[in-house]
Amino acid sequence: MSRVLVTGGAGYIGSHTIVELLQAGYDVVSIDNYSNSEPFVYDGIEKICGRRPLVVEGDCANPTVMRKLFRLYGPVAVIHFAAYKLVKGSVEQPLAYYRNNVDSLLNLLEVMQEFEAKYLVFSSSCIVYGQAQSLPVTEDSPVLSATSPYGNTKRICEEIIRDTVAATRLKAVSLRYFNPIGAHQSALIGELPRGLPQNLVPFMTQTAIGLMPQLQVFGNDYHTPDGSCIRDYIHVVDLAKAHVAAVERVFQNIEESTYEVFNLGAGIGRSVLELIREFEQVIGKPLPYKIVERRTGDIVHIWADPSKANRELKWRADTPIQTALKTAWEWEQRLALSAPQDSR
């Protein structure tokens, strides 16, 4: 099979995608600088798949590193995950987010052209829709002004890719994720936040296992049925499988245009408080939580119309929410027993 480069391959979604690529028979090379991930993730991948990807430690924003990688390994397709990803962090450090997220993409595109790699799958986000006026959002919903610098980097990167596709032989797909949760069913890989978790599910699991005294719920006075924000939660393995479908689509030349966009979600909106109740059923006990102030940059409510991805990618997010939460809890329990202490 053709060789696929996965940037940010030791990260949460990247590692699960590598598993699906390897199991589908692809040859994979991964690059990561471990700024928000750990090298031991590849051990979990190897246990699941019986083999590990080729691994490069390096920064995608470094042209020398990327040229050497392409020269040595010759990937023909790239799945680009490497980016800073926290809304709160981007509000506090906007220049760092613009420098990292935009520069790494620009560098990658230049090196891809130099080495004639012409297939790109880009890790985008539903955050590009901003606070959508009509729900669920489709791929034709307006891309609104971003509510955070992180969201703006995703919008800018999509525009850069679209313009590059128009001027070159590059074929690209942008996958707009909704909210990935859970872990691999083996509990060998999963989400691994550093410091105080910024995403809801690892905050819940760390609270349930005792690493955090209580969960923080950011606001209960939004214009939603129970006052908390509403999101579309999707199991990370389902999300990973969509990347394999996107790669196969461009390899097989069955795309409708040289640049395509797909929403990746379950198509169901759940509030933060609803998800807490679902998780309490999984763990069989109440979860302590506290309502705190709203978080700057958060969107009130959003969920996907995933019908285009269902139809064109032959893909569906069909893992039940309780199964996804159960895998997150099993990963947290395993991590407490086996992960290096300095990784928590």
- Asked whether residue 140 is domain-assigned, the answer is yes
- Asked whether residue 223 is domain-assigned, the answer is no
Contacts of 332-339 with CB under 8 Å at 24 or more apart are 332/190, 332/202, 332/205, 332/206, 332/208, 332/209, 333/187, 333/209, 334/187, 334/188, 335/190, 335/192, 336/209, 336/211, 339/40, 339/192
Find the mean pLDDT for residues 313-321.
96
In this prediction, residue 81 carries a pLDDT of: 98
In this prediction, residue 339 carries a pLDDT of: 54
Higher pLDDT, 197 or 205: 205
* Amino acid residing at 4: V
- Asked whether residue 151 is domain-assigned, the answer is yes
pTM over the 0.85 mark: yes
CATH code of the domain containing 84: 3.40.50.720
Provide the annotated active-site residues: 150
User: For the chain, how many structural domains are there in total?
Assistant: 1
Find the mean pLDDT for residues 97-126.
97
In this prediction, residue 1 carries a pLDDT of: 59
- Asked whether residue 321 is domain-assigned, the answer is no
- Asked whether residue 217 is domain-assigned, the answer is no
pLDDT category at 146 given cuts 50, 70, 90 is confident
Distance linking the first and last C-alpha atoms of the chain: 36
- Asked whether residue 63 is domain-assigned, the answer is yes
- Asked whether residue 59 is domain-assigned, the answer is yes
Q: What is the Cα Rg of the chain in Å?
A: 19
- Asked whether residue 155 is domain-assigned, the answer is yes
215-271 pLDDT, tens digit each: 999 999 999 999 999 999 999 999 999 999 999 999 988 778 899 999 999 999 999
- What domain range includes position 246? 3-182+233-265
